Each structure stands twice: as structure tokens, then as C-alpha cells.
Amino acid sequence: MTRRSIYPSLARTSLLVTILLLSTAYASSSTVTVKALAQYPAGFDDPAGTASAVAETAALPSLSALGGSSALGARGTIVGSVGNQGPATTTTATTGLWAADWGGAAAGRSAAGWQAAARNDQILIGSRGVYRKWIPQLHTWNPSLSVLMYDLGPYLQIGSADYKQILAQHPDWFARDSSGRLINLPMFPRNYLMDPGNSAYRAWHAQQLAAAVAADGFDGAMVDSVGDGPLGNYASGVPIDPATHQPYAMTTWLQSEVLMLNGDKAAMPGKYLAFNGLVSGVDYFRDSYILATSNADAGIAELFLRQPTSPVTSFPAASEVQLDVEMIGNLWFRHKAFLGWTKMWSGGTAAQIAKWEQFTLGVYLLARNSASYLDFMPSHSADNTAVPYPNLQMQLGAPFGTPVMQGSTYSRQFQFGTVAVDLVTDTVTL
């Protein structure tokens, strides 16, 4: 679920995505280090491990840190180890795909559709009720597929058995505003916020999550809706920290959610844990990077490159694109898989949607490594387990090197082609 707007006023930015497929491989060549535009916030730990902490003005690792195939293989082995076979860690496939499949499409999917989903995607995330009977067959169709159970995160739904029991027996597990009222989400009014700072609640959540994953044979779980959303205008009230009797500080709230994720991971030995809360590159380098310090295996950026309902003609500024690219590389340094999610919920012509698909794919491939996955959703109702565009099946081979900046154009060489993203011109070709 979307937490808040991060692009309140997207100016139209000229963009070019060019992907040229070549019949012969490029030779390795020297690269130009791209100067990072972003900076670490104060206290941001050094993912390369070269210092215990960095000053506020320290530069991000350069995009050259994304490396070639040998480095990706080493990182991919660490990031990709999960309970089943895990997300594919090969560097020969151009695009790794995942699917946010907990919506309505899965309930009405045919057997042929399920088979296509297993073959198209490396990671599927779905609801327990729909997915449990399909898990064995999905693994038969694709032994390397990771099937993760959707979890609502630090929320309980009013009227559910868990809600009634916890409210009666452990009312202090619920987050409350300054007037002592329970907090829900206006966009999802049945969802009531829990207090991740409560250790007893965290232990209960971990036990419930692990039991459900084990009972149904999932390869792990995805914990939804962590992050700082409730501290803004996303919820009906601002949660109060019982320790201070003041509104939760941003870092305290996020660090409490890190403890929650760590408990979830510890309760599922050998299983994969993902979370939804990175939001975007803008949010990542402001505060959501804290969630990446957890023991979870992967993080979802739900607003990768755009707000779902932004006008189809609006594209992010160059600085925002830079932050999204840097986020992928920084997660890789932290041994975390990146799951990018780009949603086109504002409508548009087929040509406009295709233009966005090309742009999303081009930016993603600039930083794509063996633990990166993309979900492009062309409409709100789309069955995004299918590959909506053949471009997403392109096989450019392993990356030969790092992103290079020449003028206004980012480019990256692959075994069988080149990806180039120009942040000035308004032409999009593929």
C-alpha cells in the first residue's frame, strides 16, 4: 500500500531510453566513475565496511561498485540463499521479475495462468488462502521459484479473531494517539496499527508468521507496510511512544520495525524474508535505509520511479532517478535483494504505457545485479504475473561493467548489447 506522496510536483523531464541489441559482445573497457548526487544522512553506516560510520557529507559509493559478473556472482550467492532454491542468482538473464500477487487476479487464474506465472517470475508473493494449494505445483513447474506469503505487517484487521483477542487480552499492543485512541488507516479503514516498539507484540507476530509459513509450505514471507507512513498523514493519528509519552521519533519507530523484522527472520530459519517499506530512492536516503539494516533478505520499493496515480506524461527529475539507481546499488552492498515496483494506475494510451515500461526497464538495468527484481504493473487490475511486454524478456546477457555517464546519458554495457538512458531528450526508443 502506498504511504504518501514523494513527488508532489513532478516537472516533465525529458527522457530517453535506448536499448540496442548487438550480435557480438563488447570487449571490457575502462569506465568513468559516476559522481553520486546523494549523500549519507548523519549516522548512516558504511555498507562497504570501511568505517564504522560516516559524516553527513560523505559521498555514496559510486555506481562503479555495482561491478561486473564476477562481483555480482559473489554478492548474489549471499543474497539469494533462501529456503527453497531462492531467487535466481544468475547474471546471464537480463531481467529478473517478481510479482506482487496478493490482489484479486490470483483468485480467478487458470491452471495455464499459474504455470505461466511460475515460469515468468523468480519471486511470487501471494495471500495464504489462494496460494496454499498451488505451492507444490508451482515448485514443480519452476524449482528455483520462491513463493512468499503476504503478511499485513504491523496491523490487525478489525473484526478478525486476532484483533478481538489481542484487544481484549493485550490492549497495550495497539498503537494509540495522544488521546489514547486506536489508530487506523483512512485508505484502509479496517487496518489498525500495532506498536512495533512493544516486544511482546513483536514476539507474537514472529510466532504467527513462522507458523503460517511452515503450515502452508511457503518459502518465506513478505511483511507489508513497514516504514514511517504512520508518523505522517497516512494514518488517523500519530502513534505515541509509551516510553516518552511523546510522538514516536522517526528513528525510534523505524528501529523498532527493524527489531520486528529481525524477530520474524529468526523465527523462520532457512526461510526468506522480504519487507515493503523502502518506498523510493528519495525516501531511502532520507530514512527508510534504516529498515535495510535489518536481517531481512529483501526490500520492496513500492514507488520505484513514480507515484501510481501520477499523470502518465510526468517523469521523475534526474536527481530522483539518480537516487533510485543509487538505492539499488546500496542495497546490494548491504547484501539485500531489491524488489522494484512500478505501477501505472493513472491510465494512458498503449503507447504511453509502453514508453513508461521502456523507461522503467532502462533505469532498472543501469543498476540491475543478480539480486534485483522488477515488477512493472501496466494497470491497477493487471495480472502482473504475466509478462506484459516482450521487452521484459530481453536477454542482454551479463553486464560487462558499470554505468557510465557521458553528458546527460547514462549507459551500461552488457554481453549482447548496451542500455542507455538520456535524462535530457524527450525521445524514448527501444
* pLDDT tens-digit readout, 191-235: 999 999 999 999 999 999 999 999 999 999 999 999 999 998 899
Q: Which residues of the chain have pLDDT under 50?
A: 1-92, 426-430
Q: Are 59 and 123 in contact (CB under 8 A)?
A: no
Quick one: cell of 187? Answer: 485508505
CA distance 58 to 61: 9
Q: How far is CA 342 from CA 42, 63, 148, in A?
A: 29, 22, 19
Looking at residue 310, its pLDDT comes to 96
Looking at residue 419, its pLDDT comes to 87
CA distance 276 to 46: 23
H helices of 267-373, where? 281-284, 318-333, 350-367
Cα angle 237, 239, 243; round to 5 = 155
Q: Are 17 and 421 in contact (CB under 8 A)?
A: yes
224 closest CA partner among 260, 174, 250: 260
Q: Are 321 and 16 in contact (CB under 8 A)?
A: no
Residue with cell 554505468: 403
Strand, coil or helix: 27: coil
Looking at residue 425, its pLDDT comes to 64
- pLDDT one-digit tens code per residue, 265-280: 999 999 999 999 999 9
Phi/psi zone of residue 340: left (φ > 0), alpha (ψ -120 to 50 degrees), beta?
beta
Q: Name the β-bridge partners of 199.
A: none
Question: Which amino acid is located at 24 in the chain?
Answer: T
CA distance 149 to 141: 18
154 closest CA partner among 195, 95, 209: 195
Looking at residue 430, its pLDDT comes to 36
CA distance 386 to 242: 46
Question: Which amino acid is located at 355 in the chain?
Answer: K
- pLDDT one-digit tens code per residue, 372-416: 999 999 998 888 887 766 667 667 888 887 888 788 888 888 888
Question: Which amino acid is located at 404 in the chain?
Answer: V
Residue with cell 496499527: 193
Q: What's the gap between Cα 351 and its chain centre?
A: 26
CA distance 279 to 292: 12
Quick one: cell of 216? Answer: 502452508
Contacts of 327 (CB under 8 A, 6+ apart): 278, 280, 281, 284, 285, 301, 338
CA distance 138 to 118: 6
Quick one: cell of 399? Answer: 553486464
Looking at residue 417, its pLDDT comes to 84
